[in-house]
Chain A
Amino acid sequence: MGDPPTNKRFDYVQSWKVIEDFFKKHGHTSIRRYPVVCRWRPDLFFTIASIIDFQRLGKNGVSFQFPANPLIVPQFCLRFNDIPNVGITGKHYTCFCMIGQHSLYDGKQGYWKDRCVELDFRLLSRPFGIKPEEIIFVEDLWVGPGAFGPSLEYFVRGLEIGNAVFTEFKSINSNVKTMEEKVIDMGAGLERFAWITQGTPTSYDVIFEPILRYLKKQTGIKYDVEFFLRYSRLAGTLNMDEVKNIKRVKAGIANNLGVTTELLDKKIKILEAMYAISDHTMALTFAITDGLLPSNVGGGYNLRIILRRALGFIDDFRWNIDLTDICELHARHLRLMCPELSEHLDDIQKILDIEKRRFHETKLRTERIVKSIVDRGEEINEEKLIKLYDSEGITPGLVQDYVPDLKIPDDFYVKVTERHMGEKKILIEEPIDVSGLPPTEYLLYDNPKITEFKAKVLKMIDDKYVVLDKTYFYAEGGGQKSDVGFIGDAPVSDVQKVGDVVLHRIIGKLEEGKIVDCKINEYKRDILRKHHTGAHIINVAARQVLGNHVWQHGAEKSSEKARLDITHYETLIDEQTEKIEEKGNEIIRKNIPVKIEYLLRPEAEKKYGFRIYQGGVVPEDKLRIVSIGNIDHEACGGIHCEKTGDVGSILILKTKRIQDGIVRIEFTVGPLALKYLREKENLLKETANLLKVKEEKVPEAVKDLFERWKQKRKELRKLRKK
């Protein structure tokens, strides 16, 4: 601090350019960052490290897919387990850039330990100009799930700059094997690289330099620079993960600085708030750009926490600043590294405005809710605070406005975050036992037009499931209900896949070993196909109408109706629903070809991006990509029309906000849409005939009739009373 170990001075973005140039010069491919919202992993909401970019979970566990070898990536990551430390310690963040240096080594391609150490040492000592004697490497052991290897952490003046993990061994059932392809996972914080050249009081002063300049100007705050510099040297010890009694440590720092704890708080709180706002807005800029919305579920929950924390600081200090302006500054500051951030500023503004409105509505509710708790004589303890935040969105800071002596746990945000943290839950159902059965030949994709075929009955399970040697029946998956039909004389009501075996649920019994005639209900198959393509079309239409933040959250397509759940921050108004429907029907009228292709996962991701994971992650190495012209590409196993025109038409039946950040669109297509509307037309006609009015006068006539009926009842009641 104040005396950096190098004469070179690089800002945040320059530091990346220096690192990128260095590695490119030494044979690395520099690749663009992956999204911070980790849609390619079923177990994570966010990209928490650069290696996550290349890890895929398949049927056989984790595999690595590197688009180039060796490579370098400026991977922005989000982590929410350190929120209370952010803004305080000077080196904790919810959003940071991990420089990923990765190499896959098989003896021929890539490189291994010695070269890695040589490159990292050279990077620090040459372009960054750090004296060799200041660079210290510390060897350790890294153990992960099913794999392990040595690791090297490197430090400059006690500050950890990077950590290289050399995944070399696999461990299966206590048997250790050397991996054929060894992996270097070197992750270094760009923040620390920039910081070490500048020697500023905190790393925030380097990362957020233009943002802090703006905030200081906008708020007009003055602070004791000399005092803060002295404080910053000690602030690193305020790590809430490591310190049990944060108050005691703070008191120690205050004593060291010759002030009371209260005065210390007063002097530094304002700067801590600015740092935290800078960090949180950067996280929000990346997350919203990559399509996640603040909400009270899943990863959106973490976003709302930091958003409300930032808004809370603004309110506490009565600053006249707008978070959207700060997001725009981040986008401008990082434009050389992430030009895409500037393309989503409209979405960011809309979403933040709505969230701000909601936050202030919550504030208005707080007084009533907190007063009622106090009046009932209930204690507001930690559990109550968490409940208030979880169910009402009321932050402890808001409660404190009405209960001044309230004790807020220092780790409050850690505790609420832990409840919703990090890993998605994967539900595994108890499967039906299919052991010993060969995989069913699943021929539907080879020829989706075949609806009649012969097959051999291999087994009956529990008197209700039949396993055939081959099938053209579609097994339920990807939100699409299964085909129905007949096997022999037995009606098929459901078809499920368990591993590679297809189970047909039937009513009746079939003789094992017998060859049977199978028939798929063509009409229902056709509707399923139309509903599935219709769902893709509505997804595109919704994105075009509502914005890029729209992703599919869930879907169900049956032969009666279909629904698509999309991510969106508020209830749809009629005008938006109509526009989506219109856009959808426009896509249908254009009669765009629906193309199906099989691509290896890296190829598919490279060609179409991560939007392909609309329906969630597909645990296959080869993906079936369904494309509607060049407007939509999704990894999807469903049955589809050949052209959008085959859908006929789309009719949105109902829309509903089913949970925070999720809107459900119920719709139907083609013949069913017409049937639905014809039924409504008949009901209207029948009502008009009864009322002896024209159809367009029905609402008016019903209103008159209803009034008359009420009036007569009143008169009759009066008469009875007399």
Chain B
Amino acid sequence: METKEKRVKEVEEEMTSNQGLKELKKKEKLLSQAAEIVGVQEKDLPRVVKRFLDEIKEMDKKLKS
């Protein structure tokens, strides 16, 4: 009985996470859209964004000087 209850609980937990699935999928879509704009893989997006930010700063400096 205890095992059965445990199992039911586990399934219920999985179901709950299923509710969050849609929310997570939305985020995945946002990431994929953003990565597509700059033509990089999703895993590389933060690194590329950081590079752009740094390079803009650098270029601003050069343009001002």
Contact = CB atoms under 8 A, between A and B. Distances in A.
A677 B56 contact: no
A680 B27 contact: yes
Interface in A696-722: 696, 698-699, 702-703, 705-706, 708-709, 712-713, 715-716, 719
Contacts of A719: 62-63
B62 A716 contact: yes
Given A646-B11, A686-B46, A719-B63, A589 B30 contact: no
B28 A677 contact: yes
B31 A645 contact: no
B18 A677 contact: no
A695 B29 CA distance: 11
Nearest to A673: B21
B59 A680 contact: no
Interface in B9-58: 11, 14-15, 17-18, 21, 24-25, 27-28, 30-31, 33-34, 37-38, 42-43, 45-46, 49-50, 52-53, 55-56
Secondary structure at chain A's binding surface: helix, strand, loop or mixed? Answer: helix
Given A683-B46, A712-B59, A695 B27 contact: yes
A670 B15 CA distance: 10
Interface residues of A, number: 38
B43 to A, nearest CB: 7
Interface in A608-656: 643, 645-646, 648-649, 651
Nearest to A720: B62
Contact of B42 (A643, A646, A680, A705): A680
A683 B49 contact: no
B interface: dominant SS:
helix
Contacts of A646: 11
Interface in A249-294: none
A471 B12 CA distance: 34
A687 B45 contact: yes
Interface string A578-621: 00000001001101000000000000000000000000000000
B21 to A, nearest CB: 6
A421 interface: no
Interface of A: 585, 588-589, 591, 643, 645-646, 648-649, 651, 670, 673-674, 677-678, 680-681, 683-684, 686-687, 690-691, 695-696, 698-699, 702-703, 705-706, 708-709, 712-713, 715-716, 719
Interface of B: 11, 14-15, 17-18, 21, 24-25, 27-28, 30-31, 33-34, 37-38, 42-43, 45-46, 49-50, 52-53, 55-56, 59-60, 62-63
